[in-house]
Structure 1
Amino acid sequence: MDRVIVYVDDAVYAQQVLAPLFARDAAARTQWVLVACAPRMTHRISKWVSHSARENWRAKWADKLFAQILPVLRVPTDRVTTVLAKGPLAELTDQLQAAGASAAQVIDARRPKTDMAQEPAPVRPDKGWSPMPGTLGSLLTGCGALWMLAFE
């Protein structure tokens, strides 16, 4: 039996990526391991939310994600295992690979980050000195205020 480990964070994007594999699964028996990768929270969130509340939110988020993906798989539930990633994916992959008898195929069906896809800012041709906005004015204002205080 083949095993496939799939990392997902968005149901719609994952369905688009996995559509060819779902069609192939009709012919071959495949054990699916769906790993939910919850969005990262900033380290400052701990000021406002307790650890248990964060874990509860992550579990609810993963349940909603699995509820959207599982009907599309169209395989018996005994051939699907759901996992919530709680640490580095490399370590989790090693654990999941070790849990099976044979090596599993690993598919990253997570939505790509849009930050990386943006084009770099256009480079302006060099026209001599071009100060950053507000830098020189702020410096002169600060120096002027210090001189005024010194002469009083």
Structure 2
Amino acid sequence: MQSVIVYIDDADHARAVLAPLVARAGAAPCRWIVVACAPRMTHRISKWVSHSARENWRAKWADKLFAQVLPWLGRGSTDVTTVLAKGPLPELAEQLQATHGMAQVVDARRPKAAPAPRGGHNPSSLLAGLSALFVLALAD
């Protein structure tokens, strides 16, 4: 039986990424190991929230995510295992592969937004402004 480890953090994005794999896996039995990757909390939150409260929030967040993904992913005769990531993903993947055998790893997490450039200036808008200024100077 083929095993697939899937990292997810958003149900809609995961459905879009996994649709081809689910269609292909429908023909043969497949074991899905779904790993929920909760959003990071800042290190300063520990001043206001206890460790157990953070862990409870992460568990509730993962339960909601699994409730959205598992009915869609677990159609047919596939075997689905859920895991909540609590550490670095490469180490978790090694542990899961040691437990379940060699598996394909699919990262279906939503891409992070690009960080704003330093200094708050966008180089492309600066270049466009300089180009417009140059054109106006040539027009005179």
SS of corresponding position for 1:52 = helix
- Specify the alignment match of 1:114 in structure 2: 113
- For residues 69-96 of structure 1, the C-alpha deviation after alignment (integer angstroms, 9 at most, x for no partner) is 0111143687000000000001001101
Per the normalisation by structure 1, the TM-score is 0.75
Unaligned stretches of 5+ residues in structure 2: 131-140
Please state if 1:51 is matched with 2:63: no
Q: Is the 8 A contact 2:7 2:109 kept in 1?
A: yes
Correspondence list, 1:7-46, <5 A: 7-46=7-46
Q: Which amino acid aligns with 2:5?
A: I
Distance 2:22 2:46 in 1: 39
Per the normalisation by structure 2, the TM-score is 0.81
- For residues 4-33 of structure 1, the C-alpha deviation after alignment (integer angstroms, 9 at most, x for no partner) is 000000000000000001111210100000
Distance 1:62 1:96 in 2: 18
4+ residue runs over 4 A deviation: none
Distance 1:85 1:3 in 2: 18
- Specify the alignment match of 2:133 in structure 1: none
Change (3 A) 1:78 1:110: same
Q: Which amino acid aligns with 2:52?
A: S
| CA-CA distance at 1:110 after TM superposition | 0.2
Correspondence list, 1:32-111, <5 A: 32-75=32-75, 79-101=79-101, 103-111=102-110
- Specify the alignment match of 1:133 in structure 2: none
Q: Which amino acid aligns with 1:46?
A: S
Name the count of aligned residue pairs: 124
Percent same amino acid among aligned pairs?
A: 67
Question: C-alpha root-mean-square deviation of aligned residues, in Å?
Answer: 2.3
Distance 2:51 2:77 in 1: 31
Distance 1:8 1:80 in 2: 14
Change (3 A) 1:4 1:43: same
Distance 1:78 1:16 in 2: 19
Whichever of the two has the greater Rg, that structure is: 1
